Chains A and B, each alone.
Chain A
Amino acid sequence: MDWNKFCEVFADCELLGNKILIKSRLHDVIEFVTDNYPYDMLKEIIAIHNQDGLVELVYHLYSTIDEENLLISILVKDRAESIVDIFESAQADENEIYDLFGIKFIGNDKLKRLYMPENWEGHPLRKDYVQDDTRLCWNDDNDS
Chain B
Amino acid sequence: MTITTLKLNLGPQHPSTHGVLRLILELDGEKILSCEPDIGYLHRGMEKMAEQMSYIQYLPTVDRVDYLAGFFYSELLCRIVEQAQCVELPDKVRVIRVMLLELNRMASHILWIGMFLMDLGATSPFFYTFREREMILRYFEKISGQRMMYNYFVFGGVRRDIDYLEDVEEILSILPSKLDDYEKLIEENPIFRRRVVNKGILEKETALNYAITGVNLRASGVDFDYREQDYLYKGFDIGKVILKEKDSMARYRARVLEIKESMKIVRQALDYLKKSSPLEQKLINPINLKLPEGDYYADIEAPRGIASCFVRSTGEKEPYRLKWRTGSYYSVNLLRKLLVGEYLNDAIAIAGSLDIILPEVDK
- Contact present between A and B (CB < 8 A): yes
Docked Cα-Cα span, A64 to B204, in Å, equals 11
Which residues of A sit under 8 angstroms from B323, Cβ to Cβ? 44, 46-47
Interface flags, A65-82, vs B, CB<8A=1, else 0: 001000000000000000
Which residues of A sit under 8 angstroms from B211, Cβ to Cβ? 41-44, 87, 89, 92
Q: Which of B55-63, B71-79, B326-334 contacts A (4 or more CB under 8 A)?
A: B326-334
Which residues of A sit under 8 angstroms from B208, Cβ to Cβ? 40-41, 64
Contact yes or no, A87 B209, CB < 8 A: yes
B142 within 8 Å of A (CB atoms): no
B7 within 8 Å of A (CB atoms): no
Max chain A C-beta neighbours (<10 A), residue from B40, B51, B217: B40
Docked Cα-Cα span, A97 to B329, in Å, equals 14
Q: How far is the CB of B312 from chain A (nearest CB, A)?
A: 6
CB-CB under 8 A for A89 and B209, given A64-B224, A115-B40:
yes
Contact yes or no, B330 A48, CB < 8 A: no
Q: Which of B41-49, B167-175, B185-193 contacts A (4 or more CB under 8 A)?
A: B41-49
Which residues of A sit under 8 angstroms from B51, Cβ to Cβ? 125
Which residues of A sit under 8 angstroms from B48, Cβ to Cβ? 124-125
CB-CB under 8 A for A46 and B40, given A64-B208, A88-B210, A125-B48:
no
Which residues of A sit under 8 angstroms from B273, Cβ to Cβ? none
Which residues of A sit under 8 angstroms from B240, Cβ to Cβ? none
Q: How far is the CB of A73 from chain B (nearest CB, A)?
A: 10
B348 within 8 Å of A (CB atoms): no
Contact yes or no, A48 B337, CB < 8 A: no
Other-chain residue from B308, B310, B330, B362 in contact with A89 (beta carbon distance below 8 A): B330
A87-144 with Cβ < 8 A to chain B: 87-89, 91-92, 100, 113-116, 124-125
Question: Inter-chain contact count A-B, CB under 8 Å?
Answer: 67
B302 within 8 Å of A (CB atoms): no
Q: How far is the CB of A141 from chain B (nearest CB, A)?
A: 24
Docked Cα-Cα span, A93 to B159, in Å, equals 35
Contact yes or no, A44 B47, CB < 8 A: no
Q: How far is the CB of B16 from chain A (nearest CB, A)?
A: 22
A49 within 8 Å of B (CB atoms): yes
Contact yes or no, A64 B222, CB < 8 A: yes
Docked Cα-Cα span, A136 to B320, in Å, equals 23
B39 within 8 Å of A (CB atoms): yes
Contact yes or no, B229 A115, CB < 8 A: no
Closest partner residue, chain A, to B207 (CB atom): A41
Q: How far is the CB of A133 from chain B (nearest CB, A)?
A: 12
Contact yes or no, B325 A115, CB < 8 A: no
Closest partner residue, chain A, to B330 (CB atom): A89
B290 within 8 Å of A (CB atoms): no
Docked Cα-Cα span, A51 to B306, in Å, equals 30
Contact yes or no, B325 A125, CB < 8 A: no
Docked Cα-Cα span, A42 to B306, in Å, equals 12
Contact yes or no, A43 B308, CB < 8 A: yes
Contact yes or no, B333 A44, CB < 8 A: no
Docked Cα-Cα span, A26 to B314, in Å, equals 26
B195 within 8 Å of A (CB atoms): no
6 pairs, CB–CB < 8 Å, chain A vs chain B = A41-B209, A43-B306, A44-B308, A89-B209, A91-B333, A115-B40
B interface residues (Cβ-Cβ under 8 A, vs A): 39-40, 43, 45, 47-48, 51, 206, 208-211, 213, 217, 222-224, 229, 306, 308, 310, 312, 314, 320-321, 323, 325, 329-330, 332-333, 336-337, 362
- In addition to A92-B330, A116-B40, 20 A-B residue pairs with Cβ atoms within 8 Å of each other are A42-B211, A43-B211, A44-B308, A48-B321, A64-B208, A67-B224, A87-B209, A88-B206, A88-B333, A89-B210, A92-B329, A92-B333, A113-B40, A114-B43, A115-B39, A115-B45, A124-B48, A125-B47, A125-B51, A125-B321
